[in-house]
Amino acid sequence: MMKKIKDKILISSSAKGTIKESAELALELDTGLEISRLPFYKNKDTSENEVIQEVKEALEGFNNRITLHAMFSDINISTQDKQLKEIAEKRCIQSFNTGKAIKADTILYHTGNKGTKHYGSQELFKRNFISFWKEFIKEFERNGITAVIENVYEEIPEYCIKLMEGVNSENFKLALDTGHVNLYTNMKIIDWIKEYNKNLYHMHIHNNYKLNDDHSNLENGTIDYKEVFTKLRQLNLNPSIVLEMFTEEDIRKSLEFIKTNALI
């Protein structure tokens, strides 16, 4: 059932100071690499081609699996402000173009949902989100790339499930961030996994003590990762897994924990 570790486990390119250094670490550890923190907002005049060239150069000689974390800071594709929506769409498209250029097979997006409790706002958000993605997903379908949406402030799994069902594409799946579930919800992670089930395509795993989004190693927090991996096996699920930690030490500790406990 399980893939080889370099096809199943990835590390974040934020693990080291540069994408190139993180790629070198991934090669040493024989893992894949998820590109994050795209350098578009370094300078307002930075062009898409310049960013793509910078990332491609950093990845020269890297032949393991690549995924990409789309730009997410302050991006809300469902906003009613037309100028803000134009920027949000631009960032989504730039992320896609970068992922395509570096041969990423999966591109992860945040929903942009900030967790408002107003029912009308939530329903409008869902309609606008689905309307954009039903058109945008066609680019992914044409290029054989999978888009996944990640939970952040969502308190229940049904929220992202409804968005996925509304888009209704085999190239649009779910990503589960376990640290966010632990921090922002009262549900057990294993219950989210059960609800996502076969639509769980990608995971970000890290730990925290339910106080801050620490992105700590797998043993440093309140999440029981033996329980998490047991649930994945019970349901015969095989998502790609990103160790979304931002220090080499935490990544090495987490990989050792996975191997020592034979979790994959």
Average pLDDT value for residue range 180-195? 97
Residue 37 pLDDT exceeds 90: no
Identify the band that residue 232 occupies on the pLDDT scale cut at 50, 70 and 90: very high
Residue 39 pLDDT exceeds 90: no
pLDDT per residue over 206-215, tens digit each? 999 999 999 9
Average pLDDT value for residue range 133-148? 98
pLDDT per residue over 234-251, tens digit each? 999 999 999 999 999 999
CA distance 145 to 134: 15
Tell me what percent of the residues of the chain surpass a pLDDT of 70.
Answer: 96
Evaluate whether 29 touches 11 at the Cβ level (below 8 Å): yes
Average pLDDT value for residue range 11-30? 97
pLDDT per residue over 57-113, tens digit each? 999 999 999 999 999 989 999 999 999 999 999 999 999 999 999 999 999 999 999
pLDDT at 241: 98
For the chain, what are the domain ranges?
5-260
Residue 2 pLDDT exceeds 50: no
Residue 1 pLDDT exceeds 50: no
Tell me the one-letter amino acid at 12. S
State the DSSP H helix or E strand holding residue 33, giving kind and residue range, or none if neither: strand 32-35
Residue 246's contacts (CB-CB under 8 Å, 6 or more residues apart) are 12, 14, 15, 215
Domain 5-260 sits in CATH at 3.20.20.150
pLDDT at 226: 97
| pTM for the structure as a whole | 0.95
pLDDT per residue over 221-230, tens digit each? 999 999 999 9
CA distance 77 to 74: 10
Mean pLDDT over all residues of the chain?
A: 94
Dihedral (Cα; 205, 206, 208, 211), 10-degree rounding: -70
Nearest-CA neighbor of 16 among 250, 257, 264?
250
pLDDT at 116: 75
pLDDT at 46: 77
CA distance 113 to 134: 18
Measured CA to CA in angstroms, residue 209 lies from 179, 206, 244, 247 at distances of 9, 11, 16, 18
More confident residue, 42 or 18: 18
How is residue 199 annotated by DSSP?
G
Residue 123's contacts (CB-CB under 8 Å, 6 or more residues apart) are none
3 state DSSP class of 68: strand
